[in-house]
């Protein structure tokens, strides 16, 4: 499998972040679920924009902060959740009725995953964002090996 699945990379610009996500999308197995972990303004939504592009989606990705879940489609469904406004409770997460929307083949990507009940325990990739002194971002992609 490609080393893109387990890397730390410095993205100097928004375009670098987007390009990384485009490459990642092209190698992503179907039905992946991705946790985007990082503070406000780190580039999580920028990354989703690249994912969408790499998955062949032509729509512009906008932050789903108010409606929480946005769905895009090409030959896969891209489900983009911004859980910032959720409280991490099981009830708030169930109210999204996510299972009804998870129609394979899909890619589920979640900003603020710690606020979506159980998501960090069941995701298949973690992508962590941090900012460097020169304002570039370090992005670490980690595959999560699920027990069988």
Ligand X SMILES: Nc1ncnc2c1ncn2[C@@H]1O[C@H](COP(=O)(O)OP(=O)(O)OP(=O)(O)O)[C@@H](O)[C@H]1O
Q: Interface residues with ligand X (CB under 6 A)?
A: 11-14, 16-17, 38, 40-46, 63, 111, 136-137
Token pair 């020169």 is found at: 134
Q: Which does 137 bind (CB under 5 to 8 A by kind): Mg ion, ligand X, none?
A: ligand X
Beta bridge partners of 35: 110, 126
Considering the complex, state which of residue 38 and residue 117 has its C-beta at the smaller distance from ligand X.
38
Task: Determine which residue in the list 18, 44, 80, 137 makes contact with Mg ion, applying CB under 5 A.
Answer: 44
Q: Which residue is nearest to ligand X (CB)?
A: 43
Least distance to Mg ion, CB of residue 99, Å: 24
* 45 near Mg ion, rule: CB under 5 A: yes
- Between CA 58 and CA 53 the distance in angstroms is 6
3-state secondary structure of 130: strand
Task: Determine which residue in the list 5, 14, 56, 63 makes contact with Mg ion, applying CB under 5 A.
Answer: 63
Q: Exposed, middle or buried: residue 92 (CB in 10 Å: 0-12, 13-18, 19+)?
A: middle
3-state secondary structure of 110: strand
């Amino acid at each position: 499998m490609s080393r893109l699945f387990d890397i730390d990379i410095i993205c100097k610009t928004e375009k670098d972040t987007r390009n990384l996500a485009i490459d990642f999308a092209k190698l992503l197995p179907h039905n992946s679920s991705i946790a985007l972990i990082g503070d406000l303004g780190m580039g999580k939504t920028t990354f989703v924009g690249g994912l969408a592009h790499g998955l062949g989606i032509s729509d512009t990705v906008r932050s789903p902060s108010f409606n929480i879940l946005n769905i895009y489609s090409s030959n896969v469904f891209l489900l983009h959740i911004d859980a910032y406004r959720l409280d991490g409770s099981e009830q708030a997460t169930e109210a999204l009725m996510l299972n009804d929307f998870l129609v394979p083949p899909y890619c589920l990507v979640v900003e603020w995953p710690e606020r979506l009940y159980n998501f960090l325990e069941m995701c298949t990739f973690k992508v962590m964002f941090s900012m460097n002194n020169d304002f570039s971002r370090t992005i670490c992609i980690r595959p999560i090996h699920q027990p069988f």
